[in-house]
Structures are given as C-alpha cells and as structure tokens.
Chains A and B, each alone.
Chain A
Amino acid sequence: MNIALATTYFCFLLLGGFYLIGSLEIPLGSADQPGAGAYPFLIGITLLAFSFPLFVNSLRKGLPKERGEAFPKGKNLKRVLSVASALILFAVFLKPLGYGICSAALMGAILKLLGLRSWGKIVPISILTAAVSYYLFAFLDVPLPRGTLFY
C-alpha cells in the first residue's frame, strides 16, 4: 500500500463528496433547461466515480506501487516544509506588515534554507531584493501593500 497515494485519493474523494453536497444546494434545473447546479453535480459524480476505485485499489496489499518519486526524509523534508511555511507566513503577514518587510524576510529565509550561510550576505541581498522589486513594480504601476499596521 502506498500511503501517500491512498491519502491523495482519499482527499479527492472527500473533495468530491463535499462538492457534490454543495452542488445540490444550487438549482439543478432539468435536462432541457439545466440549472446552475447541473454541471457541478455531474462533475461531483464524475470525481467520486474516478477517485473511489483508485482509492480502493491503493488500499489493496501486494499491488505494485504507482510510479513516482519518493518523498524526502529527514533534513530534506525539513527544508521543503520550511520553504512552504515561509511562503504561508508571507501570505499571512503581507497585509498587516506590508510587502517590504515580508519580501525581505522571505528572501532571507530562502537564502538561508537553500544554503547561503553568511548573514553578512543574506541581510543586504534580502533588503536589496525587497527594495528593488518594490520600486520596480511601483514604476510599473503595480501598487504593493504597504502594511495596515503602519499606514
């Protein structure tokens, strides 16, 4: 049994279930006048129809594993999770802290996580990246958030 694969199919199964229930709350209409819920209803049924047999198959013992790369372990897994967490923190704090602080912090985190050791290089590169990208996008008429805590 491939746990990662079974979990993925289970997530699709759950998504299909919730989506199908959601589609029933929208008018289904009839075959000659389909309502806004008819197509989502069909999609929900189809998603369940494909994910259920795949999920059941993935639970059976002795089946050859579907081809795929192994998920990282140990330090490598920690690095991937850290990059993902840094991205989530960026999204959470972007509105209150603004683009400048968040992008500098994200760049610093990525540089550190992906192998740059010297803080003497990390700090100036991060600040420079944040400043240059901020003014570059301002020049292109793209207003970036300045932080609700400060403005």
Chain B
Amino acid sequence: MSLCRGAPFSTKMDSFQGLAYGLGVAFSGSNLLACFFGVLVGTLVGVLPGIGPIGAMALLIPSTFALGPTAALIMLAGIFYGSMYGGSTTSILVNVPGEAASVIATIDGYQMARKGRGGAALTVSAVGSFVAGTLGILALMLFAPPLAKVAVEFGPPEYFALMLTGLISLSQLGGGGSLGRSFLMVVFGLLLGTVGMEPISGLPRFTFGQLQLAQGVALVPVAMGLYGIAEVLVIAERITGIPDMIKVKLRELFPTAAEWKRAFPPIFRGAGVGFFFGLIPGPAAILATFSSYTIEKRISKHPEEFGKGAIEGVAGPEAANNSAMGGTMVPLLALGVPFDPVTAILLGALMIHGILPGPLLLRQHPEIFWGVVASMYIGNVMLLILNLPLVGVFASILRLPQHLLMGFILILCLVGTYSVNNSFLDIYILIGMGVIGYVLRKLNFNLAPVLLGLVLGPMFEKALCQSLIMYRGDVWGIISRPLTAALLLIGAAIIVLPRLFRLFKGMKTKNS
C-alpha cells in the first residue's frame, strides 16, 4: 500500500513515467520474489509434459492468497511467459514439446540439434524470446493506456458486443472442428457460468440446495480438471519410457555470426506477428508460432532448408510466442476482458483478490498495471539468465519417471483445488471436469471456450441485461449504437468471410 501512496497521478502518467513507477513496484522484495518464482515454475512447466501453463496457473492461484494482488498477477503472468521459454528447450533437445506453442520448434530446432547446432538453436530461441518479449511489453505499454482511456466511455451494450465478438472469434480461430462444435463449447462454458447467484438480482440458480454453489462454479476446479486431470488421463493411456536427450556443452551455446545474421530479421518479424495475434481473441501463442513459421518459410531465400534445421524456423516462431503475451494482456488490462484461457485465469485471480479489472484499473490500481508490465521486463531478463546456463538442468527434469510425475501432479491438483474453498464439492467438480475434458479432448473439441465462457459468462449476462434495461427491451436501440454495431459487424464478418472465401475458391476451382 505504501507503494500506492507513492504513485504519481496515474491519469496524467505517460508510458515511460508509468514504467519507471512500475519498476519501483516490481523491484520491491515480495514482487521480485514472486516474479522469480513465477518464471522458474513457468520454465519447469514448459519443460514438463503433463501440466501446461493454464493448469499450473490455476493450481497456484490459492497460493497467491497470502500475497497481494500485484504479486499474484506478477507470479501468474511469469508462469505463462516462463513456460514459453521452457517449452522450446525440450522441443529442441528431445523433440518433445512441453506445451502447445512450442510444437513448431520441434521441426527445425530438433533438426539443428541433431546436426550439432542444438546450443545455437537454444541461444537463438532464448535471445529471440527475450527481444520479442521485451518488444511485446513495449507495445503493451504504449497500446493499453490509450485504449483504457477510450474504454472508460464504453457502456454495457459495447461490453456485450465486445464479449460476443471475442467468443465468436475464439470459436472460429481456436480449432476443434466445425463452428457448431466450437460454439457448443462456448455455450457449455456460459452455462457453467450461470450456476450461482444471478449477477443483478442475486437470486440463486441451479445450486441444487448446495450452499457452496451459490458463489458459482469455481474457476480453479474447472481449469485444473480440463487442463490438469484430463492431461494425466491422456498420459495414462500409454506408458512411455524416458526420452533420449541430445546433450549440449556450454561452449556450443554460441551461434556463429552467420547464424545471428539469419536469425535477427525473423525475430523482429516474429515479434510483430506475435503481438498482432495476441490482440485477436483466440489461442494467440499457438497461432502466432504457426503464422510466423509460414511467413519465414515463404519469404526465405532457402525455403528448402525448412524442416531440415533452418535457424529462421526457430527464431521467428519462438519470438512470436513470447511477444503474443504482450498482445493478450492489452484487452485484459485495458478493458478487463480476457480473450484467451491464460488471461481468463489472470482475470479470475484478480477477482478472487477483490480487484475488478476494467478500464479504471489503470487509474485505481496503477501499481497493478505498471507493476505487472515492469515485472515482465524483469522476468524476461531472469529467464534469459536462467535458461541459457541451466538448459541442461531443466531438460534433465524430463528424466523424472512418468509415474512419479503424474502422481505428484494429481496430488497437487486435488489439494490445490480443495484449498481454495476447503470444499469437498470442488473436488467432485475437478474430477468431473477432468473426465469431461478427457472425452472432449479425445473427440478433438477445443476446450478454451469452456474456460472463457465460464469466466466471461457472468459479465456477459450482466452487460446483456443492463443493456436491455437501459433500452427498455429495444434490441434495435442496443445494436444501433455505432461502436456496438461495428463490433457486432466484425463478429459477423469473422463467421461469414472465411466461408465466402472458401465458396469463391471452390467455384474458381470448379470453373478452371
């Protein structure tokens, strides 16, 4: 709180003043420790298969109760971008991606490692992640405050349209089959979000007489079930041995001048691509890596080297997935609306700490906004220092036997879930969501909309009902507000345009 009192007037604070203030917040003892712990756990989570960044973040929400909201957000954000660094280590050395956004690094990164250039791939990946992560944060710092300033004028109809468009976009871009299947997941998430007290009147709904359900279905058991327990069940299907790992010596970590020359342009392009995808609702880090790889392959003078160990195929995507983090934080910190499961967890954590995110966050809690932004700079430096010399240590964690690892993960999921509300019901919800998540994953459903629907559901309902009350039930009045109409048109275009393009392409092929 003393830091809050020391805050300059945030409304008049420009981005660089804000950053200086944020550095003061982030360098304070507990926040710095939270940042270090976050990036360390993130790196471990990125290395290990079985628990991804979303599961780990949900799992550690209860442990943030003792911390303030700033330290909590710093730690949870650190887990996410830390996992991006860790994920590439195992992709390059073992050909096993620790999390989905590192899949692309297995293509050229592993090939480089087989040719004895694994050290160079790791360094380019770490430096690229650092440069792009820093550029992403810089862009976040410049984009979010003006957007928050505009968003103060948003009314419930604009928020309703924004969330609807976000959910549509996530369904369209998130994969998982047809649009109908993706929407089914969105609606399932929204349905879970209706359990508990209605946001305006406070009337309990679908609680089946359970007092614990009056507060709604908690985020932690759902996230842990869908992303933690379901993953353990998938791994339980087949027992695998300990993977072979390519060893890298310290002196092999330095890329040659030619490799640096080839790597830097993709890093900068990847940073731009990543930030752009971060702004769009959807699995930003994954989309960004695939897009960056495609772009690099298309514009490369040596496209034939891709898939056989092209350094551009490592530098671009690894930069993109880190920069995406900065982009995804823009709607969360400026509007209070998450557009992917990671920021949904961050929003959930803020709400558990009694902070209502939104455009006023910057004005009311500058220590959170600027503290988190500045901690991301510090976290990126920590990750660079941690990841290069300790790469062998992190990769050797994969030697931990699978039965031991899965047992620990299950125990952590169960205790972590119980500890949020000391609730036995939450344990049943965790296991139920785990089984549902397993079945849905096997059937190739996209699970991200379920989580996002659960978090956005109550906000979405509140915005819709307030809009209807404001306009006395006149739907046309709501949708004819200029910004609302524009946002809804974007949502409609996201659904219609790809289908129109496919139709025209089909007709063209038929004619030719």
Contact = CB atoms under 8 A, between A and B. Distances in A.
A26 B205 contact: yes
Contacts of B424: 91, 94-95, 145
A124 interface: no
A5 B443 contact: yes
A97 interface: no
Nearest to A5: B443
B206 to A, nearest CB: 6
A142 interface: yes
A30 B474 CA distance: 11
B194 to A, nearest CB: 5
Contact of B442 (A71, A115, A133): A71
A119 interface: no
A111 interface: yes
Contact of A47 (B191, B236, B440): B191
B406 A66 contact: no
Contacts of A129: 407-408, 411
Contacts of A149: none
Contacts of A5: 443
Interface in B428-460: 428, 431, 434-435, 438-444
B468 A34 contact: yes
Contacts of B401: 115-116
Interface residues of A, number: 66
B237 A144 contact: no
Contact of B236 (A15, A26, A39, A79): A79
A114 B36 CA distance: 33
B431 A107 contact: no
Contacts of A95: 424
A40 B440 contact: no
A145 B419 CA distance: 10
Contact of A140 (B63, B232, B464): B63
B237 A12 contact: no
A134 to B, nearest CB: 9
A55 B404 CA distance: 40
Interface string B225-241: 00001001100111100
A22 B422 CA distance: 28
A1 interface: no
A43 interface: yes
Interface string A68-106: 111110001001100110011011001100010001001
B238 A19 contact: no
Interface residues of B, number: 63
Contacts of A22: 206
Chain B CB within 10 A, most for which of A38, A103, A110, A115 = A110
Given A43-B194, A50-B183, A67-B177, A91 B427 contact: yes
Given A40-B194, A50-B183, A111-B404, A8 B415 contact: no
B403 A80 contact: no
A25 to B, nearest CB: 9
Contact of A54 (B184, B438, B469): B184
Nearest to B63: A140
Interface string A114-151: 11100000000100010001000100111111000000
Chain B CB within 10 A, most for which of A35, A71, A87 = A87
B407 A36 contact: no
Interface in B236-261: 236-239
Interface of B: 62-63, 66, 177-178, 180-181, 183-184, 187-188, 190-191, 194, 198, 200-201, 203, 205-206, 229, 232-233, 236-239, 401-404, 406-408, 410-412, 414-415, 418-419, 422, 424, 427-428, 431, 434-435, 438-444, 461, 464-465, 468-469, 472-473, 475
Which 3 pairs from chain A and chain B are nearest by CB?
A31-B473, A32-B473, A114-B403
